[in-house]
Amino acid sequence: MARNKSSAEATAPRNLRKRELAIDPYDVPDETASPKRQRRSKPPEVVSENHEDEEADGDEIGSISEPTPRKPPGRAPKQAAAKTADVQTSTPSAQRHKTVAETPVKLNGFDTPSRQNIADRSARRKSARALIDRVISDAVSDDDAEEEDIAREIYESSEDEEADQEEQRDGEEGQEPTTPSKAPGRKRKAATARKRSPTPPRDLPPHEQYFYQNKPGLTKTSNNNLSMLDLLTHDEYFSVLRQLKDPHASSIDSLQALHAKSFPQWAFELSQGFSTCLYGYGSKRRLLQNFATYLTSKIPDRNHKIIIINGYVRTLTPRDILSSLSAALPSSSSSKLPIGGSNPTNTLQNLLSHFSSSSSLTITLLINSVDSQPLRKTPIQALLSQLASHPQIRLACTADSPDFPLLWDAGLRAAFNFVFHDCTTFAAFGPAELEVVDDVHELLGRKARRVGGKEGVAFVLRSLPENARSLFRLLVGEVLAASMDSQGGGGPDGDVDVDVASVEYRMVYNKAVEEFICSSEMAFRTLLKEFHDHQIITSHKDSIGTELLSLPFRKEELESILEELTA
Amino acid sequence: MADMEGGTAQFEEDDHRAVYIFNPGDGDGDIQLSARPAKRRKVAKKDASKLQQPRAALSLGSEFTPLFNGLERPAAVELRKHLFETAWPVLEDGIQHVLREANRNTLDEVASFLQQDPGSQTGKIAAAFIITGPNIASQDLLFGQLGSTLCTATQARFVGLRASEAPNLKAALKKIIRDATARVVDDEEDDLELSVGQDGRKYLDYDLEALHVFLRHQHSPRRVIVAFQDSEAFDSGLLADLITLFHSWHDRIQFDVLFGIATSVELLQARLPKSTACRLHGAQFDVVQANSVLESVFKTAVAGSQASLRIGPSLLRSMVERQQHQVAGIQAFISALKYAYMCHFYANPLSVLLDIERCVDRGLLQPEHIEAIRTLDSFKHHTEAAVEARQLNHALSLLEDDEYLITQVLEQKQKQQEYLTRLLRSLHLVTSSGLNSGFFVELYMLALSTGIDLDEKSGAFFLVDGLRRLSPDEFLSLIDRISAAMRTGSPELGLEPWIADVDEFARSLADLRDEVEGLLLRSKNKGTTLKSKYSAQSRVLRTTVVAQKVQLSRDTATLTEEDNAFTAAIDTLAGLLSENLHCDSIDNLFLYEAWVYDCKTPYLDVFVPRPGATFGRSLSRPHDYLACDCCSQAKGSLTSSLPTTSILYHLYLEAGALINVADLWSAYYTLVGDESEIGLDERSALVHFYRGLAELRMMGFVKQSRKKADHIAKLKWL
């Protein structure tokens, strides 16, 4: 139900609306029609009246008697409300203020404004809490976005409402200059009733900007999405890339040459027991390679070995590093080494003592991307620091992200004995360092990592037994049906990501049993695991713990997969 | 193509390998590290011929580059290197000595505590709580020293445990057993047979029985000291388990424990269950405070006469401030000091002047050196001063006559020595006089930057007030202290006793002392107390306002003859001191640049990097780095010629907390697409866009957001 409504909302041309125009006139019917909304704010008429107030206010401040064509019943109470206000302006200020703002008296037998206020306030409180919860938990439930919208609207509408009341009253006071001076509380309210300026304040310091941009209600973005754009595949990416030329190539080369002039300095620092860390934007891999070449040319001694560690390789483990180190040892001692030792620290101790015993050996470790994912864990950094603090091992590394100093606490940092150099190269990252297409697709939530979309699925399924194929067909069908449901009559703009359409695990299981795809939950799980392994299915739990299954494909892809499977 | 793909085909293969041994010369077939047997064989051959290589390996690659655009003579380069290699190790030894000495007391106390063996009498585990302070960087050194001291003092095995090495009970026990058994093994065979007992029984590697058998086998005292270096980081459950276990083994193996504590013993106690805590018999030990360690290191390595290079006041100040404001640890200070030495000798061609005799002997000075000397600030000041003083010949010769300049430079060596001796002696006297309460570090930095002038009223060295307030007894002891300081010198600062050099000063001090002693005796005989004009007055000021005037005159009137003489003695001493304790600020010296290093930039850049600012700058103003023509107009604003990531970064800065990728793309495409001056077609632009986005993600600027389709969340507000 909620999804129904939300998609309806999404279809409304709200994307055209700027966030500052408080409430769009076209928006109102949708919202009042939404059952949720009705549930939240008790007397629907009154709420709608409020909305009309705001809406009117959006156009012309204080135009109380603007006709509201759509809601005839709403009209009467509003006039009444206006009347109340009129009546009360003549009463002494203190009382009037109190009654209007807090507890208006019951008049004319209409639903009391007080109850309306209370309902509104509680709705507002709830929505504020919902907003806060959201910000805190950054939850990823399906209809979060929609709920958030609603909550935000309630929150903002009540803010605006206050503003309206204020302005109304101000208008009245303008007419009646004889009223006594305003109560202080009133003034404060008037001050807070500001209109948000459409342009963000300029030149805020970073922390202020953070709070400004994370204010609830400000994260409005347009509803455009990339559906019109044909996303790149790996093949296309590389074929286009091959034809591109970087206009800055010569500048980058000269920058590289500039850094290369520091090689002797770095070598000197390394020889004095410092570790160098090169940071800055751009790939520093080539620089480090050149440095390695420089070092070998400068130190022709065969007892000097250079080991290069590519931190960006996702499968890198401490064991790789240790086994390379022991391979660098002269064979006489390395033969004794239990490299296969289960415990890396164990192996490390052995290694280090062997290094100390063969004193002529020097090793230089060059680490690409020391702040990459596989190297970020503390044990690995501790291992590296232990290596670096050994007098016969030198260490130079590069760091790609601005946050790299967080990798090391004071102890590690002292063990590394780092000196840092700004080595901004602007060089492009190689395909090994940065998997551009995958990364971007992951960023966009298209999780087709290496499966390669429809073709990949077909390939995977061909290698699976018959019942797995039927299960997948069932799954695709269900997900498609679910996504249809969720858009039910949603109009042409139904391009919510199918990613959010998911089906209940339990339901799929029951259907699978019905269709004799599997007989036990065990078998069902085994089949699903196969899909998981190939990353053609994702599962997650929703807020109440129901396990949900979904497919990381777009709707069109799903359709064609289904066609292929049923064919 | 090559420039866009970042690498060249040459490295293509290695790129995807996680770890490999770099081997540039050989072909691809040789790099096969994974084929380990082949590798081993190869290394073995090489190794046989290389075994006799001396330990020179450590200094490999420490070659200095010729300066003066490469014109510097190799011999001069060698000399700079030689100077560095002789200058630093001396200091390093000194520093290590100081650090060892600093912990000496603690070490001795802990050792004697454990030697008394309190545990065996009470049936509890002896526990030493060592308050190390918050700096974990210096703990390693302390525990290393503890290990060696305790091993010799108690004949026990020492095992250091860190929380990261011992995540659970099993791992902790394994580590303990391994370290305890490996320590005293003579040959490696024992190491392998550790898990096999005498009777051929095998033990699991976390079974303390193995340790027990091993110790019995070794006929050594069955005693193991376990040190928890960062006790705060250990899980309290693990600590409790270990202690209980140790206690239960107490009759077979005697365990003692050490705790390195950064906070307080109470906190540790609160974390342990009572049942565990009462199994410990503990004592608390304090480690020397970081400040006093800094001071002694400073005295040895920076101020001491051993230091051939002086660190200038501004660099020194920022180094010391980093010590005080950040928890950087003394190691950071030492590293910074070393780096300053490296910088000076590596990058300053005039550093050869430190050994000017050798320069002149070997004719190392080349025209560039002379020219460099003439561009120095101090040279300029010196000549200008000479001109003002009407020593025109001197100035002219300095400017034109190279030989004359060299003789002048030669003379400077002597002056530099004199200056340093005067500086250190004055500082030593000031601190040992006890009249000035400031820290030595502060005083030294002040003396370098402003010089020492006792008469200057606003300076930190203004001692006269303190002098005048002295009572006769204090006066005498002050003189004693000063002459004692001159008689003994200061081993810390490397000052020899110098009383022989300042005969006159010493004699006048002795005379003063005799005189005041005589005065004291006489006034005692007379039954009055000896006081000076100054102290009498100060007493008057404390009386009531009404009586002030009357009392003041009466007091001065009652000053006896002896009092007046004492007053005169105080004035004489003040005069003597200000005459003898005097030195200029360091940059007043001619050619000080050759032996003073005072450059803050490399220090800050190298040790306190600001990566956020660096990344921000490179992305927002690429022209600063690339110096390309196309982006020179940008000046930090958005133009289409910028690198893709830079454009996206600009757009990113303007965006809110949630970024719509579709909008980002259309903004980018409008900027570089068909209709712009760059004129990329859609697919190429999209490739660029992908790259930029992927790079932003890698640098941690954005992450995936599930709030809306095709949206990403902003992560950085720079």
Mean pLDDT in residue range A25-39? 43
Residue A278: beta bridge partners? A398, A421
Cβ–Cβ < 8 Å for B383, B393: no
Question: What's B69's DSSP letter?
Answer: T
Q: Which of residues 288-347 of A touch B (CB under 8 A)?
A: 289, 292-293, 295-296, 298-299, 301-310, 313, 315-317, 320-321, 323-324, 327-332, 334-336, 343, 345-346
Exposed, middle or buried, A107 (CB in 10 Å: 0-12/13-18/19+)? middle
How would you classify the pairing of strands B125-131 and B280-286? parallel
- Where are chain A's structural domains? 2-213, 249-422, 453-566
Cβ separation B19–A221 shorter than 8 A? no
- Among the listed residues B280, B254, B258, B257, the one whose alpha carbon sits nearest the alpha carbon of residue B269: B280
The pLDDT value recorded for residue B428 is 87
Cβ–Cβ < 8 Å for B335, B606: no
Comparing A96 with B250, which gets the higher pLDDT? Answer: B250
Q: Do B313 and B370 fall into the same domain? A: yes
Q: Do B248 and B358 fall into the same domain? A: no
- Among the listed residues A1, A34, A47, A43, the one whose alpha carbon sits nearest the alpha carbon of residue A149: A34
Per-residue pLDDT tens digits for B332-341: 889 999 999 9
- Work out the number of other CB atoms within 10 angstroms of the CB of residue A99: 16
- Residue A465: alpha-carbon gap to chain centroid: 37
Range of the domain at B562: 462-580
Q: Which of residues 382-401 of B touch A (CB under 8 A)?
A: none
What b/e string do you get for A281-309 counting C-beta neighbours within 10 Å, with b at 16 or more? bbbbbbbbbbbbebbbebbebebbbbbbb
Phi and psi torsions of B159, nearest 5°: -125, 120
Mean pLDDT in residue range A263-277? 91
Per-residue pLDDT tens digits for A119-128: 667 777 777 7
Comparing B641 with B435, which gets the higher pLDDT? Answer: B641
How distant, in Å, are the alpha carbons of A43, A69, A153, A484, B520 from that of A47?
7, 15, 13, 32, 100
Q: Do B312 and B197 fall into the same domain? A: no
- Work out the number of other CB atoms within 10 angstroms of the CB of residue A485: 12
Mean pLDDT in residue range A98-122? 52
Comparing A43 with A414, which gets the higher pLDDT? Answer: A414
- Helix or strand or coil: residue A483? helix
- Helix or strand or coil: residue A535? coil
Best-predicted range by mean pLDDT (A211-225, A393-407, B25-39): A393-407
pLDDT-based confidence at A419, cuts 50/70/90?
A: very high
With tokens 């180094």, the residue in question is: B319
Best-predicted range by mean pLDDT (A322-326, B431-435, B490-494, B648-652): B648-652
Cβ separation B643–A248 shorter than 8 A? yes
- Number of A to B CB contacts under 8 A, please give it: 376
* Lowest model confidence (mean pLDDT) among A495-509, B75-89, B351-365: A495-509
Q: Do B124 and B268 fall into the same domain? A: yes
The pLDDT value recorded for residue A491 is 39
The pLDDT value recorded for residue B402 is 86
The pLDDT value recorded for residue A288 is 92
Give the orientation angle of helix B440-450 with respect to helix B290-297, to 10 degrees. 40
Is A165 within 8 Å of chain B by CB?
no
Residue B49 lies in a domain: no
- DSSP collapsed to 3 states, A71-106: CHHHHHHHHHHHHHHHHHHCCCHHHHHHHHHCCCCC
- Among the listed residues A267, A278, A266, A265, the one whose alpha carbon sits nearest the alpha carbon of residue A398: A278
Per-residue pLDDT tens digits for B384-427: 999 999 888 888 888 888 888 888 888 888 888 888 888 888 88
Q: What is the amino acid identity at position B436?
A: N
Phi and psi torsions of B325, nearest 5°: -90, -30
Is B618 within 8 Å of chain A by CB?
yes
The pLDDT value recorded for residue B25 is 58
The pLDDT value recorded for residue A280 is 92
- Residue B643: alpha-carbon gap to chain centroid: 40
Q: Do B350 and B206 fall into the same domain? A: no
Helix residue ranges, H only, A234-359: 234-243, 249-260, 263-271, 285-298, 318-328, 331-334, 344-357
Residue B510 lies in a domain: yes
* Lowest model confidence (mean pLDDT) among A68-82, A209-223, A251-265: A68-82
Non-local (6+) Cβ contacts of B561 within 8 A are none
The pLDDT value recorded for residue B565 is 84
Cβ separation A268–B342 shorter than 8 A? yes
- Of B33, B630, B690, nearest to A327 by CB-CB distance is B33
pLDDT-based confidence at B193, cuts 50/70/90?
A: very low
Class of domain A249-422: alpha beta
Cβ separation A240–B683 shorter than 8 A? yes
Q: How far is A264 from chain B (nearest CA, A)?
A: 7
* Lowest model confidence (mean pLDDT) among A335-349, B133-147, B315-329, B538-552: B538-552
CA–CA distance, A451 with A457 (Å, rounded to integer): 7
Mean pLDDT in residue range B17-22? 83
Q: Do B89 and B204 fall into the same domain? A: no
Looking at residue B235, which CATH number applies to its domain? Answer: 3.40.50.300
pLDDT-based confidence at A151, cuts 50/70/90?
A: low
* pLDDT tops 80 at residue B13: no
The pLDDT value recorded for residue A541 is 79
Comparing A464 with B55, which gets the higher pLDDT? Answer: A464
Q: Do domains A249-422 and A453-566 have the same CATH topology?
A: no
Cβ separation B683–A236 shorter than 8 A? yes
Q: Do B504 and B433 fall into the same domain? A: no
Comparing A83 with B247, which gets the higher pLDDT? Answer: B247
Q: How far is A504 from chain B (nearest CA, A)?
A: 20
* pLDDT tops 50 at residue A190: no
- Of B19, B44, B64, nearest to A330 by CB-CB distance is B44
Mean pLDDT of chain A: 70
Is A462 within 8 Å of chain B by CB?
no
Percent of chain B with pLDDT over 90: 6
* pLDDT tops 50 at residue B37: no
Q: What is the ipTM of this complex?
A: 0.82
The pLDDT value recorded for residue B696 is 92
Q: Do B346 and B485 fall into the same domain? A: no
Q: Do B511 and B630 fall into the same domain? A: no
* pLDDT tops 60 at residue B609: yes
The pLDDT value recorded for residue B57 is 40
CATH number of the A453-566 domain: 1.10.10
Q: Do B121 and B268 fall into the same domain? A: yes
Mean pLDDT in residue range B445-460? 77
Q: How far is A481 from chain B (nearest CA, A)?
A: 20
Select from B8, B698, B699, B718 the residue whose CB has the most chain A CBs within 10 Å, as the one to mutate to test that interface.
Answer: B698
* pLDDT tops 90 at residue A279: yes
The pLDDT value recorded for residue A44 is 43
Best-predicted range by mean pLDDT (A18-27, A244-253, B32-41): A244-253
Residue B110 lies in a domain: no
* pLDDT tops 90 at residue B280: no
Residue B529 lies in a domain: yes
* Lowest model confidence (mean pLDDT) among A34-48, A114-128, B457-471: A34-48
* pLDDT tops 70 at residue A160: no
Cβ–Cβ < 8 Å for B378, B589: yes
Extract the runs of DSSP E, i.e. beta strands, from B265-372: 280-286, 310-311
Cβ–Cβ < 8 Å for B264, B229: no
The pLDDT value recorded for residue A103 is 47
* pLDDT tops 90 at residue A36: no
Residue B402 lies in a domain: yes
The pLDDT value recorded for residue A115 is 60
Question: Which residues in chain B have their CB less than 8 angstroms from residue A274's CB?
Answer: 335, 339
Mean pLDDT of chain B: 79
Residue B493 lies in a domain: yes
Number of separate domains in chain B: 5
Residue B61 lies in a domain: no
* pLDDT tops 90 at residue A448: no
pLDDT-based confidence at A422, cuts 50/70/90?
A: very high
Name the residue in chain A with its Cα closest to that of B682: A229
The pLDDT value recorded for residue A359 is 72
Is B22 within 8 Å of chain A by CB?
yes
* pLDDT tops 80 at residue B352: yes
pLDDT-based confidence at A500, cuts 50/70/90?
A: low
How distant, in Å, are the alpha carbons of A274, A286, B22, B54, B72 from that of A304?
17, 21, 11, 13, 29
Per-residue pLDDT tens digits for B483-540: 888 888 888 888 888 888 888 888 888 888 888 888 888 888 887 777 777 765 544 4
Q: How far is A242 from chain B (nearest CA, A)?
A: 5
- Of B15, B60, B717, nearest to A210 by CB-CB distance is B717
Mean pLDDT in residue range B275-298? 84
Q: Do B524 and B603 fall into the same domain? A: no
pLDDT-based confidence at A331, cuts 50/70/90?
A: low
Mean pLDDT in residue range B650-664? 88
* pLDDT tops 60 at residue A376: yes
Residue B357 lies in a domain: yes
CA–CA distance, B659 with B326 (Å, rounded to integer): 37
Is B338 within 8 Å of chain A by CB?
yes
pLDDT-based confidence at B138, cuts 50/70/90?
A: confident
Is B45 within 8 Å of chain A by CB?
no
- Helix or strand or coil: residue A563? helix
* Lowest model confidence (mean pLDDT) among A546-560, B97-111, B371-385: A546-560
Is B165 within 8 Å of chain A by CB?
yes
> Is the dihedral angle over the CA atoms A56, A62, A63, A67 positive or is it negative?
positive
CA–CA distance, A328 with A322 (Å, rounded to integer): 10
CA–CA distance, A290 with B644 (Å, rounded to integer): 26
Comparing B57 with B381, which gets the higher pLDDT? Answer: B381
Cβ separation B16–A310 shorter than 8 A? yes
Quick one: tokens of B495?
Answer: 């000052």
pLDDT-based confidence at A487, cuts 50/70/90?
A: low
* pLDDT tops 50 at residue A193: no
Q: Do B279 and B131 fall into the same domain? A: yes
